[in-house]
Structure 1
C-alpha cells in the first residue's frame, strides 16, 4: 500500500460456534487440537508453554497470537496462544481452552521469539517481557472500523502528502549522508533490503532527525518496515515530523507510554494490522509489531531512559540487537556520543562505524575551550580554577549576545544550594560533631540567626546543628562555597551579570522547552532539557558548568555519561567559522575533556572499553547484580558454579528509616562475555528453584545493570 492510501477493508474475523452448555459435551477440534499457551504466571519454574485442548467451538478463532483465558492451578488466567499442534508430550489429560478473549492476533511470531530471547538473555520470565511487549486490550478501540483506525494514527501537525514517492525514496538523503564516507553505502544496503549493522557518529550541528528519516525512506522503498526508538517525547515529535514530511502522515505513527490506553492501543493496533510501516517511539515501542521489519534504530543509546525499570530490566539497545539478529533486520545505533557497548559492536566486527573524516568534523564543530588549556589562562585570570564562571566564559557569552545569538548554559542539576564545600580545596564541608555534610537551610526567620532576611548559618544536614565557625579539616581554610548550584540560582546570577538580557530556564522544575528563538538571550538548562534553536540556527556559545560535579559521581559510566551530556549540548552550537564557542568548566588535562575538545567520542569510547577490559567491567565481561536480604542472596550464590566470580556482597543503604527493617545486600557476579548465556541460565535456574518452594524473600536479578558504582 502506498503512503497516504486508505487501507483496504479488513475481512471480519470468523465467528466462534456456540459452546455446548454441558462441558462434558465439548469435543476437541479435528485439526491441530492442541494449543501451546504462554500463561501469564510470573514464576520462574513455570516459565514455559503449557498444552491445552482446543474445543471445537473455538477452532475458528483460536489462531496463533490471540489472547486466551485458561484454567491454571484451579483459577482462570490470561495467556497468549503461541502455536497449534497435532499432539502433546503430556501424558495426562489436557485442560480446555476456556475462552478466546479477542479474535485479534495480538502477538506475532517474530515478537514472541524476541520476547523469549530477551527473557533468556536477562534471566527473566517471558510473562514479564510479554507485559512490556503487548499493551492491554481496549475492546472499544479494537471494534473500530479499520478505516477509522488508520486515519487516527498520525500525531502532530505534519504535511498531508509525502514529499517523495516510494520509488524515489531510495535516492533521498544522498547529500546529507555523503558527508560520511560509508553513508551512501548504508543507504544502498537499506534500499536493497540487506541487513546492514552500523554505529553512526553524528556530526556537530547535524539535523539527525532528517538523516534517520532518510534512512527510513530508503528502507520503505524496499517494501520493509522501520522501528526508530528515541529517549523522550521531544525527540519523538522531531523525528515523527521529519518522517511524516518525507513519507506522508499515514505512513508513520508515534508510540509513547504517555498517550493514554485508548490512543496507544489504537496506534499499536494500526501497526499490528500492517497499516503503518514506520514507527517512532520511546522505550515502550521497542517491541512494536512492525510488519516485514527491515530497520531498527536507537538514537542516543547511552541515555538512561532507554533502560527499562521493570523486570527483567532490558535495555533498548540490546533488545534491538536481538530483533536485528532474530529477524534479519538492519541495525543503526546512532548519536553524537558513543557508548562502550556501541564501540564493542564495532570492534567485534558485527557493526561498521559510520563517521565523518576528521577534516569534516573540524570544519563544522565549535571551538571548545577548557580551563587552562594553554597554560596562559591562569596568568590572565588567576581565579579561573576556583571561579564558577571564569572570565573566558563571560567573554564567550558576551560575544554571542553581542552577535544576536542565544547562549546555552548547562547546569548539572536543578534547584539552589544542596551542599557546601571548602572554597580553597573543594573538600565537602562537614559538621564537627557528626561529620555530616553542611548545607544552607535558607533565609533566617528572625528566631535564631539574626534579623529577618539575613543569610542563615550553615547547618548540618544530618544532625541539624549550626556551624558558625567552619574550618576545613583538609587545608584549614574558613571560606565556604556552594558545592553544586542548581539551575534556579544560576539563572538568577546570570540575570544580574547580564542586565537587560532575557534569561529562560528549561528543565529542573521549569517546563522543558522544545525550541527557542534565534535572538540574544540566555537559556539555562539541565542535561537532556536543552532546547534547539529555531529556524535552523544554533547557539552562539555554550557554557558547561560544574564539570567537577558531573565527574565526581561514584559510577563506572561517569566519564562516558559526562561526555554524552557535554556533546549533546555542544552539538547545538554553530561552527567555529561562525563564531561558535563552547566553554567547559573542567580541567583540560582530563581524558573526557580532551574527548570533547577534539570532538572524538569514538576515541574516548575505545579507550573506555580498553580500560574496562583491563579491570574486568562491562561490556568487556557480563555482570549481574543480585539484591535481596542476606540469607536469600547467599542462597542464590550457593547454587552458582565456581566459574562465576562473586564481588561482595555489600550492604545497601536502607530504603526506610525504620531501624527494625531488614538489611539488604548486593552481590555482583562476573563471567567472561562468552559465558553470558550460561550465567543467565544458572540464575534463572536458581530463581526457579526458589519459586518452586515458594521462597518468601525475593532476590532481584539484573544482568548488565546500567549503574555500577
Structure 2
C-alpha cells in the first residue's frame, strides 16, 4: 500500500508557527543559560500532537526551569499548562523558539522514571501522554507545597526478621522475604489460602514484605482496589511499619492531603506507598517492590481514556525499573496465569494438605444422594434445608455471612402462569417490588418511570398474579429474620456498606463486594443464587464468580476452627467445582486454554473501537493493520447517550506477537483523524476488561 500523505490542518500549522516564532516581549540572549531548550509535555489530549515540544528558557527562568517543573506555555495561541521533561543544549526545530511563559513551580513533580512509564503506558493503550499524565501527577496545592513537610521515618516498627507473618505458611514464603531484604527482585503470583486465619491475611503479608524491602534500603508501592481494602492494609502497615513509615495515596483524599502525601514520596521522606489504582504511578525512590491485591477486581481498571489497568501498568513499571512483583489474591485471573505459564511470575502457594487444614470446609447443597434423600428439592429450592441447618449450628459459634448477588427486594417479576416478564403498562419498564410496608404488603413500581403498578394483568394470558424468580438481599434478610427471630440481621449493600461486624451471633446479608469483615472471622458463609453470577453475558463471568466466592471464603474461619461454607447451585458447574476443590489456578489454566482456542484476551491482542458508523468506516479506510488481523463488525450496540445516532463497535484482534504493531496502527489512525478534525469521536479500548 503506498504511503499516505497527510496535509497538516491550519491548527497544526499554527502550533508549529507558534513554537518557531519569538515572543512579543523582550527575548534576551541565551548565552548565560547552560541548557537553553526545555522539552515540555503540554497538557493537550490530541492524538496528532502527542509528543513533546521545545521552548526556549530565559536567563531569569534558568534556576527554576528544572526537569519535572510545572510550566505554562503558549500553545496554538492559548496558554496551557505542562511539565518540563528534559533540558537540552539545542532543538531539532529550525528557527527561534517561543520562550516559556511562566514557571509555575520549581518543584520537580514529574521524574524521568515516571515520564518513561507514562509514555509506555500511553503507547500500550493507544492513548495520549497527557491523559496518563493526569493520572500520575495530582493537581498542585500551592500552600501544601510551601509548607514545612511532616516528619516521617523509614524504619519499621518491628524488626522484619522476627516474624514472616502469613508467609511462613507457604513453602517459599520466607525465601521470598529474604530475597527482598537482599535487594533482589523476585516476581511471584501469591495464591493465598482463603481463610480468615493468618495464612490468608494478605494485608499483613504486604506490610511484612514492605518492611523487608525497606530493610534492604528500597521502597514499596502496594495497590488495592477500593477503600475497604485500603483501610485494612493501612491498619496492617501501622502495626508492622508504624504510622510515619508510609503514606496513603488515593483520589478520595482532599487536594491538600493528597498532594502532601505525593510530595512526601517525591522528596524521599517516605518510601512506602499504599493506595488505589493511581498509586501505581507514585514516584518512589529506589523502588524495590510492586504489590497488587486482587487484580481481577474491575475497580483496578481506569474508567477514563486510555483506560489503563493497574495490573498492566505495574508490569510495565516492573520491567522498566527491575523491581520485585507480588500479585496476590484468593482467585486467579487468566492474565496472571499466562504470566505464570511464561515463567515471568513464579507461583507462591501452600501445599495441598496445609491449604485444606487452614481453609474452611466448602460444599454444595444437595451434592450427595444422602442429602437429596433428606431434602428431595435441595437442587431446586432457593433455601434448601441444609441452609437452615448450617445457620442454626453456626450461630452458636459466631456470625454467619450470606452473599446474595442482587440488592433490593423482589428485583424481577414474571407472570405466575406463562412466565412472561412483568412490564409497566405506561412505559413497558421493568416492575419491581420494594420492601414490605408496616402492613406487610410490598409496593410494586416501575423501575423507569416510577409509577405504582396496582392493577396489572398479563397481556399474554390475562393472569393477575406474579412470581419473583430473582430475589434481592432485602427479601433474603427478611426471610432469614423470620426463620431466626431471636438473631439480629444486618445488611450490607451499595449505599450502606458495613466495614466490620462484631463477633457475636448475627446473620449478615451482603451483596458481592460489600461483605464486611468479622472479628475473629465468620463461623460460616452461604452463597445463594450462584447461577445469577454465572449467567452474566460476559467473557469473564466464571472467573469473576469464582473470585467473588473465594473472597467470601477468605472471611470465614479455618476448617480447624469449624468454619464452613455452603454454596446453593448446580453441583456440575465448573466454577463451583473449582470452589469446592479450592483450585483457582486449575480453573485459570482451563479458562486460558479455552480463550486461546476461541481467540480472546489474554491469548490474543484485542482492540475495541466504538463510534458512529461513518466514523468507523473512515477508521477502516485509514487503518493499515498488520496481517493477520481479524476485523469483526461493525455491529450496532444501541443508541448513544445523546440519542442522536446509534453506536457501533468494531473489534480488531491479532496474535500477541503483532499486538504492539496493531496498537500503533490504531493510534496512527487516531492521529490522522485528529489532524483532520474528523467528525464523530471514537472510543478505543485495548484489551478491554468487560467483553460482553
User: 1:27-42 to 2 correspondence within 5 Å?
Assistant: 27=30, 29-42=32-45
Cα distance between partner residues in 2 of 1:247 and 1:532: 22
Cα distance change on mapping 1:469 and 1:97 into 2, 3 Å: closer
Equivalent of 1:645 in 605, 630, 635: 630
2:409 pairs with 1:416: yes
- For the residue of structure 2 that corresponds to 1:127, the secondary structure is helix
Q: Could you say which residue in structure 1 is the equivalent of 2:431?
A: 439
| 2:473 match | 487
* Number of the residue aligned with 1:258: 252
| Pairing partner for 1:407 from 395, 400, 404 | 400
Deviation for aligned residue 1:376:
3.4
Question: Superposed, which structure 2 residues align to 1:574-613 within 5 Å?
Answer: 574-613=557-596
| Equivalence for 1:377 | 371
Per-residue CA deviation, residues 45-87 of structure 1 (Å, 9 max, x unaligned), is 1111111111111111111110111111122111111111111
Report the Cα offset of residue 514 of structure 1: 1.6
CA contact (8 A) 1:428 1:437 kept: no
Write out per-residue CA displacement over residues 393-446 of structure 1, whole angstroms, 9 at most, x where no aligned residue: 11111100123x100011112111221257899x7646699997863455999x
Counting only pairs closer than 5 Å after superposition, residues 393-404 of structure 1 correspond to structure 2 as 393-403=387-397
1:361 to 1:424, Cα distance in 2 relative to 1, 3 A? farther
Q: Is the 8 A contact 1:28 1:55 kept in 2?
A: no
Distance 1:624 1:342 in 2: 20
Q: 1:385 to 1:422 in 2, by over 3 A?
A: farther
In structure 2, the CA distance between the partners of 1:650 and 1:174, relative to structure 1 (3 Å rule), is: same
Structure 1 pair 468–84 and aligned structure 2 pair: CA distance change class (3 A): same
1:341 corresponds, among 335, 338, 341, to 335
Give CA deviations for 1:21-49 in whole Å, capped at 9, x if unaligned: 95144546531111111111111111111
Q: Deviations over 1:221-246 (max 9, x none)?
A: 11000000011112112112212222
Write the mapping of 1:452-491 to structure 2, written as runs, cut at 5 A. Answer: 467-468=456-457, 481-491=467-477
Asked if the contact 2:27–2:58 (Cα under 8 Å) also holds between the matched residues in 1, the reply is: no
Question: What is the match of residue 550 of structure 2?
Answer: 567
Aligned to 2:66: 63
From 105, 111, 115, the counterpart of 1:112 = 115
- Counterpart secondary structure, 2:652: strand
Corresponding position of 1:14? none
Look up the SS of the partner of 1:402 in the other structure.
coil
Asked whether 1:245 is paired with 2:260, we answer no
Deviation (angstroms), 1:385: 2.5
Give, in angstroms, the shift of residue 386 of structure 1: 2.7
Whether the 8 Å CA contact 2:557–2:563 is kept in 1: the answer is yes
The aligned residue for residue 509 of structure 1 is 495
Kindly state the Cα deviation for residue 506 of structure 1 after the two structures are TM-superposed.
1.5
Who is 2:269 aligned against?
275
Given that 2:35 and 2:87 are in contact with CA atoms closer than 8 Å, whether structure 1 keeps it comes out as: yes
Question: Residues 561-588 of structure 1, C-alpha deviation per residue, up to 9 Å, x if partnerless?
Answer: 0001100011111122322221111111
- Aligned partner of residue 596 in structure 2, secondary structure: helix
Do structure 1's residue 677 and structure 2's residue 668 form an aligned pair?
A: no
Given that residues 408 and 434 in structure 2 are in contact (C-alpha distance below 8 angstroms), is that contact kept between their aligned partners in structure 1? no
More off after superposition, 178-187 vs 492-501:
178-187
Q: CA deviation at 1:187?
A: 1.0
CA deviation string 1:521-546 (max 9, x = no partner): 01111111111112xx1111101111
Separation in structure 2 between the aligned mates of residue 469 and residue 68 of structure 1, nearest angstrom: 66
Aligned to 2:307: 313
Q: Residue in 1 aligned with 2:347?
A: 353
Change (3 A) 1:110 1:402: same
Q: Distance in 2 between matches of 1:162 and 1:459?
A: 57
> Which SS does the other structure have where 2:638 is aligned?
coil
Seen in structure 2, the aligned counterparts of structure 1 residues 172 and 317 have a Cα distance that, compared at 3 Å, is farther
Q: 1:706 to 1:331 in 2, by over 3 A?
A: same
Q: Is the 8 A contact 1:201 1:338 kept in 2?
A: yes
Q: CA deviation at 1:459?
A: 8.1
Which of 501, 508, 513 is the equivalent residue of 1:523? 508
Q: Which runs of 5+ in 2 are unaligned?
A: 1-22
Structure 2 counterpart of 1:101, from 81, 104, 121: 104
Whole-angstrom CA distance in 2 between matches of 1:270 and 1:627: 41
8 Å CA contact retained: 1:229, 1:298 = yes
CA contact (8 A) 1:563 1:592 kept: yes
User: What is the correspondence of 1:153-302 to structure 2 with a 5 Å cutoff?
Assistant: 162-164=156-158, 168-169=159-160, 171-174=161-164, 176-205=166-195, 206-302=200-296
- Can you list the C-alpha shifts for 1:315-366, whole angstroms capped at 9, x where unaligned? 0000110110101111111011111111111001111010111111111121
Instruction: Give the Cα separation in 2 of the matches to 1:188 and 1:411.
Output: 42
Tell me, what secondary structure is at the counterpart of 1:587?
Answer: coil
Alpha-carbon RMSD: 2.8
Give the Cα separation in 1 of the matches to 2:252 and 2:436: 42
Cα gap change, 1:466 to 1:632, in 2 (>3 Å):
farther
Please list, as runs of the form range in 1=range in 2, the aligned pairs for 1:614-625 lying within 5 A after superposition: 614-625=597-608
Q: How many angstroms apart in 2 are the aligned matches of 1:603 and 1:569?
A: 19
Q: 1:253 to 1:417 in 2, by over 3 A?
A: same
Partner of 2:139: 136
Cα distance in 2, alignment partners of residues 191 and 614 from structure 1: 42
Gap change, CA 1:428 and 1:247, over 3 Å in 2: farther
